[in-house]
């Protein structure tokens, strides 16, 4: 969480209007889902990784590692789609290997479906990576405010986001305090300490929320968390990028 | 000398607790005064400050701000909280917004100011507290001292007459504490007043004009700082 947040704040395109970034992401995800060819997903991955590194200035190694991790995860997830296990011999149209009584088989159709699933999901994941690593949550919340979503929902997201970090700090402090008193010295002690930590964290969250309510009231809180809107830059480049990406994805679909 | 805040014979008992936390507490704060409120844990300091800001309503007694007896209707409370600002020991309890500028703007917008006027208040308060360069930063990335100054800016942006600080200097390093004290000094020179609840007797003696001591829910001593004897 801290890491994603840090990259989002460091990004060169941090101040571009989140509405534009969300629209661009929506366009790419929409095309990845609509155009059912593996090449579309691959082109989307290349675009998004390129934009993350060149446009947003994110470290190439981090972007590569992230995509690799997601890719491996997706590959593992589609093994079941590409291959099937059976105790009876598969039809002749299937490529198969026999391990004792067990048959592992696969055919061109299932492999194509697995490839489509992986590339499509990876294209979407790369798009979400770009959005998440260049847009802090407060910008997305600000966008929700502009979209006139219910104030209660927006206030809730704002406070939850703030509390994630406050509670993470508490968690670390309590964990260190437990460690210093041999709270994690044995497996049994670790289990007990973890349980105590979870219950204590719940109480801590409740107490903090009460204190926050008091602090908000002292500054005139009357039911909604009114704050100044943030200022963003409107980038014309985003329109050009959107058009170029759409054309390239359509071409990839048409040519493959 | 103009009396900015008067807490007159306050009694208060938290629901479910048999013993009153405030037991006839009386305190007044004049314009241009720096007052330190000292006392043991549980003596009623924080509860008294919550009464001064209208968070708690006394069972008996009266609070006056700038000579006006205070009511507890929503519109009256808004004006009350504009005049009496309160900062807390843990700034994390006060900072709710993701960005510093947004957090500071919360109070001014609650006062009904326009976005432009609120923005102006944010700029001035940030400058007073030396957090101008932090305005775009997310609150969770700030250090303890930065959070304390941002929390103070959030209150100063409401332009209060009286600043109540509930152990706001605790947990700060000496340099950061000095910066906060300097901000308090600047605040007082504008004809306003600061009431600082603290356990730090050195700060109380060296910084305050007056020291008020509480015990068991009432004020047991109220004297100029220079006449206050060292406590052993």
Look at the block and give the residue holding tokens 């059912």: A36
> Under 8 Å CB-to-CB from A146, ≥6 apart: which residues?
A19, A229
* Residue B163 scores a pLDDT above 90: yes
A207 and A243 share one domain: no
* Residue B232 scores a pLDDT above 60: no
The answer to whether the CB atoms of B158 and A137 lie below 8 A apart is no
User: Would A44 be classed as within a structural domain?
Assistant: yes
**Can you give the pLDDT at residue B164?**
95
A-chain residues near B119 (CB < 8 A): 228
pTM of the predicted model as reported, rounded to 2 decimal places? 0.76
- Please tell me which residue of chain A has the smallest CA distance to B137: A9
Q: Which helix (H) or strand (E) holds B156?
A: helix B144-156
| Inter-residue contact A8 to A16 (CB < 8 Å) | no
Interface residue A136 vs chain B (CB under 8 A): yes
A-chain residues near B110 (CB < 8 A): 219-222, 226
A-chain residues near B96 (CB < 8 A): 158-159, 162, 212, 215-216, 225
Q: Which of B82, B90, B97 to mutate to test the interface with A (most CBs of A within 10 A)?
A: B97
* Residue B1 scores a pLDDT above 80: no
**Can you give the pLDDT at residue A252?**
93
Domain ranges in chain B?
3-90+160-227
**Which DSSP category does B229 fall into?**
P
Q: Which helix (H) or strand (E) holds A164?
A: helix A151-180
Given A212, A218, A226, which is nearest B55 (Cβ)?
A218
Given A212, A218, A220, which is nearest B96 (Cβ)?
A212
- Please tell me which residue of chain B has the smallest CA distance to A138: B98
**Can you give the pLDDT at residue B231?**
52
User: Would A90 be classed as within a structural domain?
Assistant: no
Given B86, B111, B141, which is nearest A218 (Cβ)?
B86
Q: How far is B115 from chain A (nearest CA, A)?
A: 6
* Residue A51 scores a pLDDT above 70: yes
Gap between the terminal Cα atoms of chain A: 38
A246 and A189 share one domain: no
Q: For residues A217-232, give the mean pLDDT.
A: 83
**CA-wise closest residue to B166 among B209, B127, B214:** B214
Give how far Cα B109 sits from Cα of A225, A229, B149, Å: 9, 11, 20
* Residue B170 scores a pLDDT above 70: yes
**Can you give the pLDDT at residue A121?**
96
| Residue A164 Ramachandran class (φ > 0 left, ψ -120 to 50 alpha, else beta) | alpha
User: Would A7 be classed as within a structural domain?
Assistant: yes
Chain centroid to Cα A99, Å, comes to: 39
**A115-161, pLDDT tens digit by residue?**
999 999 999 999 999 999 999 888 888 898 889 899 888 888 888 88
**CA-wise closest residue to B212 among B229, B194, B199, B224:** B224
Q: DSSP string spanning A191-222?
A: HHHHHHHHHHHHHHHHHHHHHHHHHHHHTT--
Percentage of residues in chain A with pLDDT exceeding 70?
100
Q: For residues A80-95, give the mean pLDDT.
A: 85
Q: Which helix (H) or strand (E) holds A86?
A: strand A84-86
Which of the four pLDDT bands, split at 50, 70 and 90, describes residue A1? low
Among A8-12, A67-71, B144-148, name the most confident range: A67-71
Q: For residues A231-240, give the mean pLDDT.
A: 91
A178 and A248 share one domain: no
* Residue B14 scores a pLDDT above 70: yes
> Under 8 Å CB-to-CB from A94, ≥6 apart: which residues?
A105, A106, A107
User: Would A98 be classed as within a structural domain?
Assistant: no
| Inter-residue contact B164 to B84 (CB < 8 Å) | yes
A76 and A14 share one domain: yes
**B181-195, pLDDT tens digit by residue?**
999 999 999 999 999
A65 and A161 share one domain: no
Q: For residues B192-204, give the mean pLDDT.
A: 92
Strand-strand pairing, A102-106 and A95-99: antiparallel
**Can you give the pLDDT at residue A206?**
87
A176 and A246 share one domain: no
User: Would A96 be classed as within a structural domain?
Assistant: no
Helix (H, G, I), strand (E, B) or coil at B39: strand
A206 and A188 share one domain: yes
Q: For residues A42-53, give the mean pLDDT.
A: 96
Interface residue A158 vs chain B (CB under 8 A): yes
**B212-230, pLDDT tens digit by residue?**
999 999 999 999 988 876 5
Give how far Cα B166 sits from Cα of B30, B53, B84, B106, B136, Å: 18, 12, 13, 20, 27
Structural domain boundaries enclosing A34: 2-80+116-135+232-255
Give how far Cα A163 sits from Cα of A177, B17, B140, Å: 21, 30, 9
Rg (CA), chain A: 24
A25 and A68 share one domain: yes
Which of the four pLDDT bands, split at 50, 70 and 90, describes residue A208? confident
A-chain residues near B99 (CB < 8 A): 138, 230
**Can you give the pLDDT at residue B229?**
60
**B32-48, pLDDT tens digit by residue?**
999 999 999 999 999 99
User: Would A105 be classed as within a structural domain?
Assistant: no
**CA-wise closest residue to A226 among B68, B155, B97:** B97
User: Would A237 be classed as within a structural domain?
Assistant: yes
The answer to whether the CB atoms of B97 and A162 lie below 8 A apart is yes
Q: How much is the mean pLDDT over chain B?
A: 91
Q: Give me the interface pTM, i.e. the ipTM.
A: 0.79
- Please tell me which residue of chain B has the smallest CA distance to A211: B93
A129 and A58 share one domain: yes
User: Would A100 be classed as within a structural domain?
Assistant: no
Classify domain B3-90+160-227 by CATH architecture. Answer: 3-Layer(aba) Sandwich (3.40)
Our count of domains for chain A comes to 2
A123 and A41 share one domain: yes
Q: Which of A222-226, B70-74, B190-194 is predicted least confidently?
A: A222-226
């Amino acid at each position: 969480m801290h890491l994603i947040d840090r990259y989002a704040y460091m990004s060169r395109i941090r101040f571009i209007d989140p509405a534009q970034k969300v629209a661009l992401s929506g366009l790419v995800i929409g095309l990845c889902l609509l155009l059912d060819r593996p090449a579309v997903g691959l082109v989307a991955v290349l675009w998004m990784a390129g934009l993350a590194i060149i446009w947003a200035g994110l470290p190439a190694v981090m972007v590569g590692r992230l995509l690799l991790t997601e890719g491996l995860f997706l590959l593992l997830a589609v093994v079941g789609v590409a291959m099937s296990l059976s105790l009876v011999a598969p039809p002749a149209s299937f490529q198969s290997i026999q391990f004792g009584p067990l048959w592992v088989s696969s055919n061109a159709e299932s492999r194509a479906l697995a490839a489509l699933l992986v590339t499509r999901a990876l294209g979407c994941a790369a798009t979400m990576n770009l959005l998440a690593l260049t847009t802090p949550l407060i910008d997305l919340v600000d966008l929700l405010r502009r979209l006139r979503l219910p104030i209660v929902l927006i206030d809730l997201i704002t406070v939850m986001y703030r509390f994630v970090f406050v509670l993470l700090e508490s968690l670390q402090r309590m964990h260190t305090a437990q460690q210093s008193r041999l709270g994690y010295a044995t497996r049994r002690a670790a289990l007990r300490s973890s349980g105590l930590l979870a219950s204590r964290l719940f109480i801590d969250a409740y107490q903090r929320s009460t204190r926050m309510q008091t602090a908000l009231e002292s500054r005139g809180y009357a039911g909604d968390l009114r704050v100044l809107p943030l200022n963003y830059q409107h980038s014309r480049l985003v329109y050009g990028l959107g058009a170029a990406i759409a054309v390239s994805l359509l071409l990839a679909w048409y040519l493959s | 000398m103009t009396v900015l805040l008067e807490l007159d014979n306050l009694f208060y008992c938290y629901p479910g607790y048999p013993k009153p936390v405030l037991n006839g507490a009386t305190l007044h704060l004049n314009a241009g005064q720096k007052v330190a409120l000292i006392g043991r844990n549980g003596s009623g300091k924080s509860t008294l400050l919550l009464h001064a800001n209208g968070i708690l309503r006394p069972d008996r007694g009266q609070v006056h701000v700038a000579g006006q007896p205070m009511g507890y209707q929503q519109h009256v409370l808004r004006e009350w909280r504009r005049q009496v600002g309160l900062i807390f020991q843990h700034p994390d309890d006060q900072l709710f917004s993701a960005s510093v500028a947004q957090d500071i703007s919360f109070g001014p917008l609650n006062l009904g100011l326009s976005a432009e006027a609120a923005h102006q208040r944010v700029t001035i308060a940030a400058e007073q507290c030396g957090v101008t360069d932090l305005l775009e930063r997310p609150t969770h990335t700030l250090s303890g001292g930065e959070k304390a100054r941002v929390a103070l800016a959030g209150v100063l942006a409401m332009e209060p007459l009286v600043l109540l600080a509930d152990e706001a200097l605790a947990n700060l390093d000496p340099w950061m504490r000095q910066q906060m004290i300097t901000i308090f000094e600047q605040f007082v020179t504008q004809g306003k007043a600061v009431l600082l609840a603290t356990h730090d007797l050195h700060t109380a003696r060296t910084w305050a004009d007056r020291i008020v001591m509480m015990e068991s829910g009432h004020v047991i001593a109220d004297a100029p700082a220079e006449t206050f004897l060292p406590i052993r």
